[in-house]
């Protein structure tokens, strides 16, 4: 049966197209990584293998500062967005549909629907006003801007996990005279945890990748790694950008693999 | 409801690092600040300078006037200095805190845009002309025709740096006018030439140093120092001074009114007034500066470079860009917007 | 419903709202609320050097399609703006079509793998999806630039003698967007095909349907929700694209996103920028509403 359904599911040219797609998808990324080991100054001419650009990027203060800042923002944004998204997921699932639920859904998914450039422009205006009026500076503006657009990404896996959960366990706990808090702490949360971690990781990756909103919202000396790279790309194309990209790429792949294994094990 | 707001205000305020001790935020053109200069400054004073890049005078002004950028120093071109002063965005310098203020070269001291240098300290000056790759174009590089009426071999290979005053300025001078003209006939001629020529340009972008050197572009409206740096990597790159007229400019460092690190900023301003330090700026970006006696600390090739030393026959064609009247500026902006679309 | 049940339902609703409040506060302050300021700004006059003047003006909205001639003070259609809108819409539609044309076979391929390797193939398509957009754009730049991989290979093969000039053209932006947004098309298509019952194919073939007929009459109608979802997911970010045209378009091949950015910088026309942002938002909202309408109709059919 299995083999038979395969032959009928085969459509002419589909496999070839798929193979070409996978090659096209990875070839540019592999080229980028390969040229990060280029000994030559130019991004165009291959001059032999070398680690120089990694060493150079590592010793570049601007890159170091931007990396630390990117990680700080991503960790804070992921924590904030995951915390509020977990609460919202608990509030919007496993109870009778209530008035305003659709409104809450729309609000939570809003960052997925509004083009980034529009949010970026509106935050530029808002933060400019606040900064001028109060004189308060700081990285907090960027963190909260990130936290906001990370909420839907944190919310979705948590909600999916909650919807797949067996409610009888909680009922059983309540029957055994556990307080609501005890039930949450000892029954709901442990089962929910993989969803929460998955949500936090997605939020972290999304924050780490943001260019447009950060580019508009950042103040002096608040470059993140992507905005630093965007600036460099317009000026000096050296393999140093490839080296930075490759490192960021490696970090993303490690996180995603962890995410992949985490969600698979619990299926 | 209260808790998140409390957390919010806490986060917004406690992470305020901009005014931390020993910090300085410099807002400067991209690829324009010598890393050696900053290293030396940090070694001598313990002050760490953070540089944020901008692409154009307009972007810098927009960011600064939007408020709360967190910058201490900005480096506008001459014709923008008065705008910053008028809008109250930069503050008058306390010359008593600048013991080496008198190092400013006499010809750069009583400049039109800042008589007696009460607001700004020179950073670098240069010209805006044309760079061409002589392996592709063998003709005369000293003309604006190259980007306004390109020869066949350069079509589709020309870049134009997106800096309004300089590009429109070049076109206006090519059309027989003076920068900041209000003469509609001249403006119309410049406008039409630009709009028509646009189809032959490959891009309107920065990053000219690398891309002229590696052959991505065969010609570019470009700055003298950038061309110099390209030539050091690729000897085929040559700088042309448009004989129809070209802009001269100077960028100077100014102290912003809402600067948080004022003492550190004064230290920096005085630091770059010393010839050996100003020379570091020039050694990196390859433009002359306005500080007396800095030439002897510069690389030897600066003394003879054709990009730095304007040939006698083209000297008269160079015009310092003035601050334009509101009407002239309106015309220029309209032409520019039309071109950018 | 008894009084106790009613009280319980009210309690449940209250808890639902209370638990969602922190998320709603953050979203209101940093996502939805600021949009209101953009609305206000779009009705103000531009300041001479950027920012705004606090004076009511409709020039921002008028400036979207109409422009004052530079030299005589007459108003006319802003053909330059129209060019940018047209380019944005054209490139977004083309991107959607191309990603569908290659994304559908890919999704089909993944969905028809044995269960074990399917997860891996899916993972392979997800990695680029989560990889930094800027890095992927830069990667495609490495391939299509004058001395990039593509031109080097073609010249080495003797197929061309001079490099193809792709970089900084509409084509470069198009290729870049298709590359960058492809996973957004494949994933929902996969989800739709994955639910597809392959026995339907057997039934169709048993009834002597040709391959083309099977594709058109059996497969496509059933995976239609996936097609619509994928198209929206690609079309919306394409229309608002900023990074890809900026890096691959060389400052000349502007799209709406860059045009908005320009108004807040060199253009010195914040009200126009605000009005353009809202226009983009309106177009996207309309596209989404159409999607919701179609998606609902399809599920109504299914049940």
Q: Which of A77-86, C190-199, C244-253 has the highest mean pLDDT?
A: A77-86
Crossing angle for the helix pair B184-197 and B326-340, nearest 10 degrees?
Answer: 20
Q: What digits encode the pLDDT tens for the residues C265-283?
A: 877 889 999 999 999 999 9
In chain A, residues with a C-beta closer than 8 Å to the C-beta of B88 are: none
Window 188-247 of C, Cβ < 8 Å to A: 198-199, 201-202, 205, 211, 215, 236-237, 239-240, 242-243, 246-247
Judge contact between A67 and C170, C-beta under 8 A: no
Q: Is A34 on the interface with C (CB under 8 A)?
A: no
Residue B129 main-chain phi, psi, to 5 deg: -140, -140
d(Cα B207, Cα C89) in Å, to the nearest integer? 29
Who among C32, C240, C270 is closest to A107 (CB)?
Answer: C32
Residue A105 is assigned to a structural domain of this protein? yes
Task: Determine the residue of chain B that is closest to A230 in CA distance.
Answer: B53
In chain C, residues with a C-beta closer than 8 Å to the C-beta of B214 are: 147
CA-based radius of gyration for chain A:
23
Judge contact between A176 and A209, C-beta under 8 A: no
CA distance C131 to chain B (A): 25
Who among A138, A231, A234 is closest to B12 (CB)?
Answer: A138
SS3 C45: strand
CA distance B275 to chain C (A): 34
| B19, pLDDT greater than 60 | no
Residue A56 is assigned to a structural domain of this protein? no
Window 30-59 of A, Cβ < 8 Å to B: 41-42, 44
Residue A189 is assigned to a structural domain of this protein? yes
Residue A121 is assigned to a structural domain of this protein? yes
Q: In terms of C-beta density within 10 A (0-12 exposed, 13-18 middle, 19 or more buried), how is residue B88 classed?
A: exposed
The percent of residues above 90 in pLDDT, for chain C, comes to 39
CA-based radius of gyration for chain C:
25
Window 84-143 of A, Cβ < 8 Å to C: 84-85, 87-88, 90-92, 95-96, 98-101, 104, 107-108, 110-111, 113-119, 121-126, 129
Task: Determine the residue of chain A that is closest to C34 in CA distance.
Answer: A122
Domain count, chain A: 1
Residue A9 is assigned to a structural domain of this protein? no
Who among C102, C136, C145 is closest to A21 (CB)?
Answer: C102
For C16-30, the three-class secondary structure string (H helix, E strand, C coil) is: HHHHHHHHHHHHHHH
H helices of B175-223, in order, are 184-197, 208-213
Helices first, then strands: H and E counts in chain C: 14, 4
For B286, left (φ over 0), alpha (ψ -120 to 50), or beta?
Answer: left
SS3 A256: helix
Mind listing the domains of chain B with CATH numbers?
A: 2-125+249-302 (3.40.190.10), 126-248+311-340 (3.40.190.10)
Query: What CATH number is given to the structural domain containing A154?
Result: 1.10.3720.10
Q: What is the pLDDT of residue C51?
A: 80
Q: Is A6 on the interface with C (CB under 8 A)?
A: yes
Mutate to test the interface with C, among A31, A117, A201, A203 (most CBs of C within 10 A): A117
Task: Determine the residue of chain C that is closest to B183 in CA distance.
Answer: C71
Which of C293, C96, A59, C262 lies closest to B340, judged by CA? Answer: C262
Q: What is the pLDDT of residue C168?
A: 86
CA distance B216 to chain A (A): 10
Task: Determine the residue of chain A that is closest to C205 in CA distance.
Answer: A8
pLDDT band at C209 (very low <50, low <70, confident <90, very high): confident
pLDDT band at C207 (very low <50, low <70, confident <90, very high): confident
In angstroms, the Cα distances linking A215 to A221, A222, B75 are 12, 9, 20
Q: Which has more pLDDT, B239 or C81?
A: B239
Interface contact A65-B50, CB threshold 8 A = yes
Please provide the DSSP assignment of B254-313 as one string.
EEBTT-S-HHHHHHHHHHTTSHHHHHHHHHHH----SBTT-GGGS-GGGTT-TTTS--HH
The predicted model gives C57-78 an average pLDDT of: 82
d(Cα A255, Cα A133) in Å, to the nearest integer? 40
Buried b vs exposed e over B178-204: b needs ≥16 C-beta within 10 Å? Answer: ebbbebeebbebbbebbeebbebbbbb
**pTM listed for this prediction:** 0.87
CA distance B338 to chain C (A): 7
Q: What is the pLDDT of residue C88?
A: 94
Which of C86, C68, C85, C90 lies closest to C77, judged by CA? Answer: C68
Range of weakest confidence among C97-101, C166-170, C255-259: C166-170
d(Cα A168, Cα A162) in Å, to the nearest integer? 13
Interface contact C50-B331, CB threshold 8 A = no
In chain C, residues with a C-beta closer than 8 Å to the C-beta of A91 are: 15-20
Q: Identify the segments of chain A with pLDDT beneath 70.
A: 1-9, 42-44, 236, 263-267
Dmax over CA atoms of chain A, in Å, equals 72
Judge contact between B220 and B208, C-beta under 8 A: yes
Q: Which has more pLDDT, C99 or C12?
A: C99
Q: Which chains touch B (3 or more CB pairs under 8 A)?
A: A, C
Q: What digits encode the pLDDT tens for the residues C102-143?
A: 999 999 999 988 888 888 898 899 888 888 899 999 999 889
Task: Determine the residue of chain A that is closest to C127 in CA distance.
Answer: A253
In chain A, residues with a C-beta closer than 8 Å to the C-beta of C26 are: 80-81, 84, 144, 147-148, 151
Chain B to chain C Cβ contacts (< 8 Å): 91
d(Cα B133, Cα B267) in Å, to the nearest integer? 42
Q: Which residue range is the domain that position A89 belongs to?
A: 61-265
Range of weakest confidence among A103-112, B248-257, B326-335: B326-335
Residue A108 is assigned to a structural domain of this protein? yes
Which of C37, C194, B32, B212 lies closest to A122, judged by CA? Answer: C37
DSSP state of A74: H
d(Cα B144, Cα A9) in Å, to the nearest integer? 63
pLDDT band at B10 (very low <50, low <70, confident <90, very high): very low
Q: What is the pLDDT of residue A157?
A: 85
């Amino acid at each position: 049966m299995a083999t038979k359904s395969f032959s009928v599911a085969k459509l002419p040219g589909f496999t070839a197209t798929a193979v070409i797609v996978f090659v096209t998808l990875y070839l540019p990324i592999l080229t980028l990584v390969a040229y990060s080991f280029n000994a030559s100054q130019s991004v165009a001419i291959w001059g032999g293998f070398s680690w120089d650009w990694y060493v150079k990027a590592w010793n570049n203060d601007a890159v170091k500062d931007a990396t630390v800042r990117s990680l700080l923002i991503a960790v804070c944004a992921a924590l904030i967005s995951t915390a509020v998204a977990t609460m919202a997921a608990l509030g919007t699932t496993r109870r009778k549909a209530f008035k305003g639920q659709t409104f809450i859904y729309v609000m939570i998914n809003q960052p997925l629907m509004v083009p980034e450039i529009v949010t970026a422009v509106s935050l530029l205006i808002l933060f400019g006003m606040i900064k001028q009026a109060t004189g308060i500076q700081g990285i907090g503006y960027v963190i909260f801007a990130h936290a906001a657009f990370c909420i839907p990404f944190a919310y979705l896996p948590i909600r999916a996990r909650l919807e797949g959960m067996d409610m009888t366990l909680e009922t059983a706990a309540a029957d055994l005279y556990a307080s609501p808090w005890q039930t949450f702490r000892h029954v709901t949360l442990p089962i929910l945890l993989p969803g929460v971690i998955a949500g936090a990781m997605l939020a972290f990756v999304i924050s780490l990748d943001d260019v447009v909103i950060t580019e508009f919202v950042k103040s002096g000396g608040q470059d993140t790694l992507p905005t630093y790279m965007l600036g460099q790309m317009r000026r000096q194309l050296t393999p140093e950008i490839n080296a930075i990209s490759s490192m960021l790429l490696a970090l993303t792949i490690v996180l995603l693999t962890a995410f992949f294994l985490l969600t698979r094990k619990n299926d | 409801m209260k808790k998140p707001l409390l957390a919010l205000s806490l986060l917004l305020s406690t992470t305020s690092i901009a005014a931390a001790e020993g910090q300085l935020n410099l807002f400067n053109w991209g690829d324009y600040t010598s890393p050696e200069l900053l290293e030396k400054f940090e070694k001598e004073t313990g002050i760490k300078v953070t540089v944020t890049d901008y692409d154009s005078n307009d972007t810098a002004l927009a960011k600064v006037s939007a408020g709360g950028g967190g910058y201490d120093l900005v480096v506008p071109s001459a014709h923008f200095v008065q705008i910053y002063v008028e809008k109250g965005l930069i503050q008058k310098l306390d010359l008593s805190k600048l013991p080496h203020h008198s190092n400013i070269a006499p010809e750069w001291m009583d400049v039109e845009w800042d008589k007696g240098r009460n607001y700004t300290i020179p950073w670098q000056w240069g010209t805006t002309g044309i760079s061409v790759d002589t392996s592709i174009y063998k003709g005369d590089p000293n003309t604006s025709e190259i980007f306004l009426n390109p020869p066949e071999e350069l079509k589709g290979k020309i870049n134009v740096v997106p800096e309004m005053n300089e590009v429109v300025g070049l076109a206006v001078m090519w059309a027989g006018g003076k920068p900041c003209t209000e003469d509609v006939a001249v403006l119309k001629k410049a406008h039409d030439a630009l709009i028509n020529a646009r189809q032959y340009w490959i891009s309107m972008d920065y990053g000219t140093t690398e891309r002229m050197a590696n052959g991505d572009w065969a010609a570019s409206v470009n700055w003298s120092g950038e061309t110099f740096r390209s030539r050091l990597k690729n000897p085929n790159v040559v700088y042309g001074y448009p004989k129809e007229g070209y802009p001269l400019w100077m960028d100077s460092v100014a102290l912003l009114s809402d600067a948080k690190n004022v003492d550190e900023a004064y230290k920096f301003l005085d630091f770059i007034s010393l010839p050996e330090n100003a020379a570091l700026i020039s050694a990196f970006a390859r433009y002359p500066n306005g500080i007396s006696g800095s030439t002897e600390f510069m690389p030897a090739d600066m003394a003879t470079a054709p990009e730095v030393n304007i040939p006698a026959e083209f000297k008269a064609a160079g015009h310092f860009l003035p601050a334009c009247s509101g009407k002239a500026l309106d015309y220029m902006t309209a032409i520019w917007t039309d071109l950018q679309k | 419903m008894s009084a106790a049940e009613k009280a319980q339902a009210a309690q449940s609703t209250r808890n639902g709202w209370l638990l969602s409040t922190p998320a709603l506060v953050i979203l209101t302050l940093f996502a939805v609320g600021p949009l209101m300021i953009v609305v206000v700004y779009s009705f103000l006059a531009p300041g001479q050097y950027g920012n705004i003047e606090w004076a009511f003006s409709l020039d921002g909205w008028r400036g979207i399609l109409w422009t004052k001639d530079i030299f005589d003070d007459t108003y006319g259609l802003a053909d330059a703006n129209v060019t940018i809108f047209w380019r944005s819409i054209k490139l977004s539609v083309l991107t959607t079509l191309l990603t569908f044309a290659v994304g559908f076979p890919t999704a089909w391929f993944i969905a028809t793998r044995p269960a074990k390797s399917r997860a891996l193939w899916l993972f392979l398509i997800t990695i680029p999806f989560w990889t930094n957009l800027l890095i992927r754009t830069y990667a495609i730049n490495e391939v299509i630039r004058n001395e990039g991989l593509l031109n080097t290979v073609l010249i080495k093969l003797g197929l061309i003698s001079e490099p193809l000039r792709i970089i900084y053209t509409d084509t470069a932006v198009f290729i870049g967007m298709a590359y960058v947004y492809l996973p957004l098309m494949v994933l929902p298509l996969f989800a739709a095909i994955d639910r597809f019952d392959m026995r339907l194919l057997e039934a169709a073939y048993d009834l002597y349907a040709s391959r083309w007929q099977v594709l058109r009459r059996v497969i496509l109608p059933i995976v239609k929700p996936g097609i619509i979802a994928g198209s929206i997911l690609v079309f919306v970010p394409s229309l608002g694209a900023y990074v890809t045209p900026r890096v691959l378009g060389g400052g000349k091949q502007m799209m709406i996103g860059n045009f908005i950015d320009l108004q807040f910088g060199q253009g010195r026309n914040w009200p126009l920028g605000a009005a353009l942002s809202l226009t983009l938002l309106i177009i996207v909202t309309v596209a989404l509403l159409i999607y919701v309408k179609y998606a609902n109709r399809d599920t109504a059919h299914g049940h």
